[in-house]
Amino acid sequence: MALSVLSVKQRTKLDLGEFLPYLVNRAGVIIAEQFGIETLAPHRLSIVMWRVMAVLASNGSQRQIDLAELTSIDASTLSRMVTRLVRMGLLIRTRSTTSSREVVVTLSARGNALVARLIPQAYEIEAAAAAGLSPDELALVKRCLRRIYGNMKSRPAAVRKSPQKGVAI
């Protein structure tokens, strides 16, 4: 049952151990840190770079503006990130065939090969994080997190400043 506005406004103490934003962030930070250290750092990749590469591996070539939305990375940060990944030989950036103002980003052959090697390690981190959860519980957690994201994405502050930076894998 969702908290009523009245009950929320009456609260005067905050127990971080029961505060959803803290719990979500805490879990996300430790997962991202461990994945970054164990898997990405040896390849000079950050979590943000990984998100870009993973989205391109899953969805194929993307306009840079669509990639920003799919990765929840703001456009200026994404532009710098794409430039760095292009210099590393992991992405290819070209002008759109439909609009000279749009940029399309694609994984290079080297980028595809690297993502293919890292995906099993990403699933290992997910399995470690989900240890002790049944498949149904894990599916429920994922559904709830998607709903929470949707709830927050539709708030006025998110609509004004979208997409957001973040640490999530």
Summarised one tens digit per residue, pLDDT across range 54-64 is: 999 999 999 99
Q: Provide the residue count of the chain.
A: 169
Q: Determine the Cα–Cα distance for residues 102 and 95; give it in Å rounded to an integer.
A: 6
Position 100 scores a pLDDT of 77
> pLDDT tens digit string along 121-167?
999 999 999 999 999 999 999 999 999 999 998 888 766 555 444 45
Q: What residue ranges do the domains of the chain occupy?
A: 34-160
Q: What is 34-160's CATH topology?
A: Arc Repressor Mutant, subunit A (1.10.10)
Angle between helices 75-87 and 64-71 (to 10 degrees): 110
Dihedral sign from CA coordinates of 113, 70, 91, 168: negative
Q: Rounded to a whole number, what is the largest CA-CA distance in the chain?
A: 56
Please answer whether residues 62 and 70 qualify as being in contact, where contact means their C-beta atoms are separated by less than 8 angstroms: yes
> pLDDT tens digit string along 21-50?
999 999 999 999 999 999 999 999 999 999
Q: Return phi, psi of residue 94, to 5°.
A: -135, 165
Region of 19 (left: φ > 0; alpha: ψ -120 to 50; beta: rest) is beta
Predicted TM-score (pTM) of this structure: 0.82
**Above 70 in pLDDT, residue 92?**
yes
> Which pair of structure tokens corresponds to residue 128?
């470690």
Q: Determine the Cα–Cα distance for residues 34 and 26; give it in Å rounded to an integer.
A: 12
Q: What Å distances lie between residue 64 and 51, 80, 105, CA to CA?
A: 13, 11, 6
| Stretch 9-15: mean pLDDT | 82
